[in-house]
Amino acid sequence: MMNYIWAGIILLSVIYSFLTGGCAAITNAVMDGAKNALALIAATAGMMCFWSGIMKIAHEGGITEMAARVFAPIFRRLFPDYAQDKDVCSAVSMNISANLLGLGNAATPLGLEAMRLMSRRLNSDSASNSMVMFVILNTASIQLVPTTVAVLRSESGSSDPMGIIVNVWLCSAAALAVGITLAKLFESR
Amino acid sequence: MNVGIYVIPFVLFAIILTALIKRLPVFELFLSGARQGISAIFKMAPSIIALVCAVTMLRSSGLLDAIIGLISPILEPIGFPPELFPLSVLRPISGSGALAVLNDIYKSFGADSFIGRAASVMMGSTETTFYAIAVYYGSVGISKTRHTVPCALAADFTGMVMAVLSTRLMGG
């Protein structure tokens, strides 16, 4: 899909600028774009590295397990099929907790492990209710500190980069609530 | 009420103190985490360059404004800023693409403008939905995803509408 989107953006931009006589702008845009891209990477790289380092300390310090213990009762309700399965419960809650703390590097392997454990009881190529619920939890952004956005805001001259955080929490919670409710409603289908 | 300024200092303090009490090698752990961080950025760099270039071309050719102008009669009456339309379309599909568009929005409107703040909330409260679905189901060979896509997209849609609404109401 990205092949078509990326190619489409470039081809259509060239055609449009040709039709409207703005070819010079496209030539400049290519050079500006490449420069902007590196500036964007340079602007975010330092803080992303620092945050990854801090989160590694947090993870090893047991923060993920702690969060996982706090959320365990909720997860047992969301995944009734696996409420008795300790391995699945722990992989699921570790994955969600890692996501919550913004530990992308740690979250994905834990999530894949949870999917593998859940698929052991499944003999078809169709997702189970619990799998759907788990993937929906992962497609909803449940990050406590929106680091990337905050860094980019501060680099773009924002006077209050973290000022969006309460809104982000509200919106994530609303999105998550809709996702979970719909998933539960569709389960019997 | 400004919670934002307290979050980072508190989190830093709590994490490092906890790790020290547990006698963990904090500095070495930090270095290994930061190393993972920099390699993640290196892995993302080519797609960021590809998409930032494409989005810059889209903006300077005038096509982006033309598209926004075209859909604004539909979005404006319902109170959704048409300038946020490209971000809301690209967000579930491509993380690098959304980052490129967000960067473009900050450059064009400013990070503290209404559009800039609503875009920040939108970016922070939604995920690269299709990527996550592909990775998770792909890893266990599941092809029938049943109600996953409609539910996940409905959640994203809620997040986006709420991003505009909350920014408008709270000024956040």
SS (H, E, C) chain B: CCCHHHHHHHHHHHHHHHHHHCCCCHHHHHHHHHHHHHHHHHHHHHHHHHHHHHHHHHHHCCHHHHHHHHHHHHHHHHCCCHHHHHHHHHCCCCHHHHHHHHHHHHHHHCCCCHHHHHHHHHHHHECCHHHHHHHHHHHCCCCECCCHHHHHHHHHHHHHHHHHHHHHHHCC
Token pair, residue A67, equals: 């969060």
Any CB–CB contact under 8 A between A27 and chain B? no
**What pLDDT is attached to residue B66?**
93
For B120, which of A63, A149, A170 is closest by C-beta distance?
A: A149
Do residue B37 and residue A49 have CB atoms under 8 angstroms apart? yes
Q: Residue B8: which of A81, A114, A146 has the closest Cα?
A: A146
Q: Which tens digit of pLDDT belongs to each residue from A23-67?
A: 888 888 988 899 989 988 888 888 888 888 988 898 888 888 888
A174 pLDDT band, cuts 50/70/90, is: very high
A16 pLDDT band, cuts 50/70/90, is: very high
**What pLDDT is attached to residue B153?**
95
Instruction: Find, in chain B, the residue whose alpha carbon is nearest to that of A181.
Output: B151
pLDDT at A148 over 70: yes
Instruction: Find, in chain B, the residue whose alpha carbon is nearest to that of A55.
Output: B33
pLDDT at A114 over 60: yes
Do residue B24 and residue A127 have CB atoms under 8 angstroms apart? no
Instruction: Quote ipTM for the complex.
Output: 0.89
Token pair, residue B29, equals: 């752990």
Token pair, residue A136, equals: 């929906």
- Reading chain B (172 residues) residue by residue, the pLDDT tens digits are 466 667 778 888 999 999 999 999 999 999 999 998 888 888 889 999 999 999 999 999 999 999 999 999 999 999 999 999 999 999 999 989 999 999 999 999 999 999 999 999 999 999 999 989 999 999 999 989 999 999 999 999 999 999 999 999 986 4
Query: What residue spans define the domains of chain B?
Result: 24-170
Instruction: Find, in chain A, the residue whose alpha carbon is nearest to that of B154.
Output: A179
Q: What is the mean pLDDT of chain A?
A: 88
A103 pLDDT band, cuts 50/70/90, is: confident
Residue B77 C-alpha, separation from nearest chain A C-alpha, in angstroms: 22
Work out the average pLDDT over A134-162.
89
Residue B171 C-alpha, separation from nearest chain A C-alpha, in angstroms: 9
**What pLDDT is attached to residue A45?**
87
Residue A77 C-alpha, separation from nearest chain B C-alpha, in angstroms: 19
Sequence-separated (6 or more) residues with CB below 8 Å from residue B30:
A53, A54, A56, A57
Q: Which tens digit of pLDDT belongs to each residue from B96-136?
A: 999 999 999 999 999 999 999 999 999 999 999 998 999 99
Query: What residue spans define the domains of chain A?
Result: 1-43, 62-186
| Distances, alpha carbon B131 to alpha carbons A108, B39, B128, B157, in Å | 12, 20, 6, 16
Residue B68 C-alpha, separation from nearest chain A C-alpha, in angstroms: 14
- In a mutational test of the B interface, the residue from A4, A14, A16, A56 whose CB has the highest number of chain B CBs within 10 Å is A56
Any CB–CB contact under 8 A between A172 and chain B? yes
Q: Name the phi and psi angles at B126, rounded to 5.
A: -130, 170
Work out the average pLDDT over A63-74.
84
